[in-house]
Each structure stands twice: as C-alpha cells, then as structure tokens.
C-alpha cells in the first residue's frame, strides 16, 4: 500500500482534517501552531491562516463557510480574519477546553471537551482527570450534552448507522459505540475496541464499505481499518509516529489523507525524522464517503 508525504506541514498538532468537495481541497487545524490550513492536492496550492487563539477542530458549513472549535467557544468562520464565537461550551468549567469536532449526518456539529493539557506557553500539561463531555451544537443554536459519561480526551465521531455513533477516549485506549436515541442523546454504550497494542486512538473516518479508519497516535505510527463491531481488518504503517486524523479526499474520494503531530518530540528526534507533523496520502484501495456540512441535515 503506497504512502507518501504530500505536504511538509510541520504541524505541532495537526488535527480535524476534512475534504471540501466544492473547493477540491483539504482543510485542517494545527492546534498549538494556532493556524488553519487549506491544501489542494492536485495543484499543490497551500494557504495558511494564522489565528490569535488555538483552533481545535474544523467543519464545513452548507453556506460555504466553516465552523471551528476555538478552545472554549464554537465559532463561525468565513476563511478570513478571526473566527466569530457563537457559543461558549462549559462556561462553568474553565479548566476544560474543546477538542474533537465533526459535522454529523444530521447537519449538527458534534464536539467533545477535555481537561486542558496545553499550558499557556504551549508546553504539555498533565491532565489526568476525566472531565470531558460530548455535545451536539445544532444549526438553530441549541447545545445539548449527549450523555453523562466522562472522557479524558474526546476523539473520533463516526456514524456507522443512522442510530449509532462510534467515539473514542484516547488515554483509555478505547473506542465506544453508542445508540443514538430519538431525542438525539446517547445511551447503551458498548466497548468495540480496547487496549489495542499500537498507540492510542485519535481521529477517524469511515469508508464506503462501512469500515472505520483510525489514526493511532502517541507512537502508534499506523492507521487501523476496523469493522463497526471492533474487528481489525487492516493495519497501514505510516512514516510518522503520531498520526492524528484522517479523511478521504480527491475527486473520487479514493485517497486517504492523514495529519500528524510533533508535539512533545525532542529536537534530536525531529532532526532525524523531519517528516513528523506532515500531511500524508495513502492509496487505501477503497473509497470514502462524502462529508457532511453544518446546516445541511439528512
């Protein structure tokens, strides 16, 4: 299986990659780098927007703009200037921050929180407590907490069925499946993968055959392809030790793009492995699914 470095992005924490079919480009965030990328893999055109705060996730809107998680706030952004806050999440929990955020098939922004593990000087900070929660932000402005379960680091939102969500808790090395109730809240949590031996689960995407691809961060150096019931079908080795997120892109959604991180790595390691934090392309042998847009529900 062919894997190539397509952009030497040098991201501190590249995350939340999405394919914009209308613009035929990828977008993703660099959390600690305080920037948002857009990259056209066909032409090599690469744009960077530098922000005052840390973006933690990005999704596409039906009107052509973006929806962005910015540490404490869900924001709207129109590819210029600073993202505009529209809703603070957990105003009563100032030690928490936003993390993963993905637009779901219902056209809402599904987003998770966690105890902030980044110090003001961008150095890593211990965040041992499980204080994170899962939320859904609807286009009408409603913010709903989805369950009572506490997460250490929220990651992964994929929908293998209309009534199922698969999500991850990274430090717990676990992927969970929830039933989505008629009111949109989550119940009936089942562990679908626990303690897999390669790194930890970060961002995921789903292919057209219903399998879930997950970036295995923290030294995992690979992607896993998993059935919704937790069976590992394939492991793809990567030339980066901290892959963080993945999305199918290209005109026919046949290329799997992977972001990565270099957060916490030593200067010696980076000198020997300068590709860390880059954007990679995988010829996965399967196609992906079209992405969802905020405000364009099924």
Give the model's confidence band at 126: pLDDT under 50 very low, under 70 low, under 90 confident, else very high.
confident
| Cβ atoms within 10 Å, residue 138 | 16
In tens, the pLDDT along 129-166 reads 999 999 999 999 999 999 999 999 999 999 999 999 99
Of the candidates 7, 26, 17, 44, the one whose C-alpha atom is nearest the C-alpha of residue 275 is 7
Tell me how far apart the 2 most distant CA atoms of the chain are, in Å: 52
> What is the arithmetic mean of pLDDT over 184-208?
97
Give the model's confidence band at 181: pLDDT under 50 very low, under 70 low, under 90 confident, else very high.
very high
Please give the tally of structural domains in the chain: 1
pLDDT at 264: 87
Reply yes or no on whether the pLDDT at 182 is more than 80: yes
Percent residues over pLDDT 90 in the chain: 95
Name the phi and psi angles at 144, rounded to 5.
Answer: -120, 125
Cα 237 to Cα 224, 243, 282: the distances in Å are: 9, 10, 10
Supply the CATH number for residue 9's domain.
2.120.10.30
pLDDT at 160: 96
DSSP per-residue codes, 87-126: EES-TT-TTEEEEEEEE-TTS-EEEEEEE--B-TTS-B--
Query: Which pTM was predicted?
Result: 0.96
Q: What is the distance between the alpha carbons of residues 30 and 7, in angstroms, rounded to a whole number? A: 14
Q: What is the distance between the alpha carbons of residues 220 and 214, in angstroms, rounded to a whole number? A: 11
Percent residues over pLDDT 70 in the chain: 99
The answer to whether 252 is a known catalytic residue is: no
Helix (H, G, I), strand (E, B) or coil at 216: strand
* Residue in 11, 106, 202, 207 annotated catalytic: 202
Name the phi and psi angles at 163, rounded to 5.
Answer: -115, 20
Reply yes or no on whether the pLDDT at 13 is more than 80: yes
> What is the arithmetic mean of pLDDT over 213-240?
96
Its domain, for residue 164, covers: 3-294
pLDDT at 296: 86
In tens, the pLDDT along 54-110 reads 999 999 999 999 999 999 999 999 999 999 999 999 999 999 999 999 999 999 999
pLDDT at 298: 56
In contact, 216 and 202? CB cutoff 8 Å: yes
């Amino acid at each position: 299986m062919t894997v190539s470095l397509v952009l030497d992005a040098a991201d501190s924490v590249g995350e939340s990659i999405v394919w914009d079919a209308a613009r035929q480009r990828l977008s993703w965030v660099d959390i600690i780098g305080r920037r948002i990328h857009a990259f056209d893999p066909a032409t090599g055109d690469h744009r960077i927007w530098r922000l005052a705060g840390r973006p933690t996730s990005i999704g596409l809107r039906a009107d052509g703009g973006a929806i962005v998680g910015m540490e404490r706030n869900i924001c709207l952004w129109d590819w210029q200037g600073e993202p505009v806050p529209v809703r603070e999440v957990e105003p009563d929990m100032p030690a928490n921050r936003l993390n993963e955020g993905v637009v779901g098939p219902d056209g809402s922004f599904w987003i998770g929180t966690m105890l902030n593990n980044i110090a003001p000087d961008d150095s890593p900070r211990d965040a041992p407590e499980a204080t994170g929660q899962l939320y859904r932000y609807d286009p009408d402005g409603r913010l709903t907490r989805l369950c009572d379960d506490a997460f250490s680091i929220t990651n992964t939102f994929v929908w293998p069925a209309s009534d199922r969500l698969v999500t991850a808790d990274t430090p717990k090395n676990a992927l969970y499946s929830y039933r989505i109730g008629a009111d949109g809240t989550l119940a009936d949590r089942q562990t679908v993968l626990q303690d897999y031996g390669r790194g930890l689960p970060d961002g995921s995407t789903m292919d057209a055959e219903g399998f879930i691809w997950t970036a295995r961060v923290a030294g995992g150096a690979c992607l896993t392809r998993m059935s919704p019931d937790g069976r590992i079908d394939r492991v793809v080795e990567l030339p980066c030790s901290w892959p963080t997120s993945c999305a199918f892109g290209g005109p026919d959604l046949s290329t799997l793009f992977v972001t990565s991180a270099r957060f916490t790595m030593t200067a010696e390691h980076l000198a020997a492995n300068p590709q860390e934090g880059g954007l990679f392309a995988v010829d996965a042998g399967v196609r992906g699914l079209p992405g969802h847009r905020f405000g364009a529900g099924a």
